[in-house]
Amino acid sequence: MRNLLRRGLLWLACGAAPVMAQTPYAGPLFDAHLHYNDDACVQDAPDPACPHPLTDVLARMQRNGVRAVLANSRPNAGTLALAGAREATHAAGVTVVPFVRLYRDRADYSSWFRDESIVELVTTELARGTPAGPYQGLGEFHLYDSANANGPVARRLMALAEEKQLAVLAHVDDVAIDLLMAHTAGKGDLPPGRPKADQPPGGAATREAAERGGFRLIWAHTGIGGASVERVDALMARYPLLMGELSYRPGLTCGDGQLCPEWHSLLLKYPERFLIGSDTWVNQRWLYYDELMQSYRHWLGGLPASVARRIAWDNAATLFGVAHGNGRP
Ligand SMILES: [Zn+2]
């Protein structure tokens, strides 16, 4: 407070109008890129050898106002543990939206796209479902070389996602977005004859996909290799069902932790197409979970309130049919 006062006085002394401090976004968060991998030590009891048991990760979500998570893990046991902890997740006010991951271990990251057994893993998991309900998507998967988006397993899984109306969380480059979209019957396009303006912004992923003959592709990191804002803009315009998750996105924020001007403009242009996520791919991300969420709240606070709320919560909540705020204020 004293600092704020001093800063305000400084402004007055300089003859300029005082600038109001940015108020961080204070509403609910939907963590749309969460992993509960085995190295976090998936179990429900604290243990010295277990850095992030369920009680720990749920406490981190709860104290940060994270009310829902898109959960996936290597192997899928972590997602099943979260989905199965019905009482604990309810008590923490967290809704778990489960995704099937394509990985049993780290080796699968770079070979899944040519490994037919991954299709079997996915179909078995989909048939089994989770204690929190059916899986709602596939991923996160990685394609470090976009050409592998044309591999047989990637083609089959994209067709499966479209057929079963599942969303997909993909860590890929901009070239692979085009390739993956091309593997679906809908080609990522809206059905002919239906003007874009008529499209509702949300709806459960399944219902939307059924209506539109396509699937929701969530672009993890929205181009971690630094695809230009112009290129991201062009892909968003080309594929109405493409959504961008913003963790690790290079160039997103500038020195003050606020959105850089070109990203501020892009998020205002597509307020219904972006999501935030933690990407807890290593335990260090769990350690800094508070700071990650605070940094999101910081730049969300620089957006108009309605846009901040969409990106923080509404877009993902609408996509997966999660009740707003889980019935809480
Ligand atoms: Zn990830």
pLDDT tens sequence across 164-218: 999 999 999 999 999 999 887 777 765 544 444 334 333 445 445 445 556 799 9
Centre of ligand 1 to C-alpha 2, Å, is 40
First to last CA, the chain: 28
3-state secondary structure of 81: helix
Task: Give the pLDDT confidence score for residue 214 in this predicted structure.
Answer: 65
Q: Please, which pLDDT band fits residue 297 given cuts at 50, 70 and 90?
A: very high
47 band by pLDDT with thresholds 50, 70 and 90 = confident
Q: How far is the CA of 33 from the centre of ligand 1 (A)?
A: 6
Q: Which residues surround ligand 1, an ion (CB under 5 A)?
A: 140, 279, 281
Give 229 Cα–ligand 1 centroid separation in angstroms: 21
96 bridge partner residues: 69
Cα gap 146→29, rounded to integer Å: 31
Average pLDDT over residues 251-266: 97
The 10 Å Cβ neighbour count of residue 317 is: 24
Could you tell me which residues come within 8 angstroms of residue 151 by beta carbon, excluding any fewer than 6 positions away?
113, 114
The model's pLDDT over 100-147, given as tens digits with 9 standing for 90+, comes to 999 998 889 888 998 999 999 999 999 999 999 999 999 999 999 999
- HSE at residue 36, side-chain half, CA atoms within 13 A, is 33
At 218, phi and psi to the nearest 5? -95, 115
Q: Quick check: 49 pLDDT over 80?
A: no
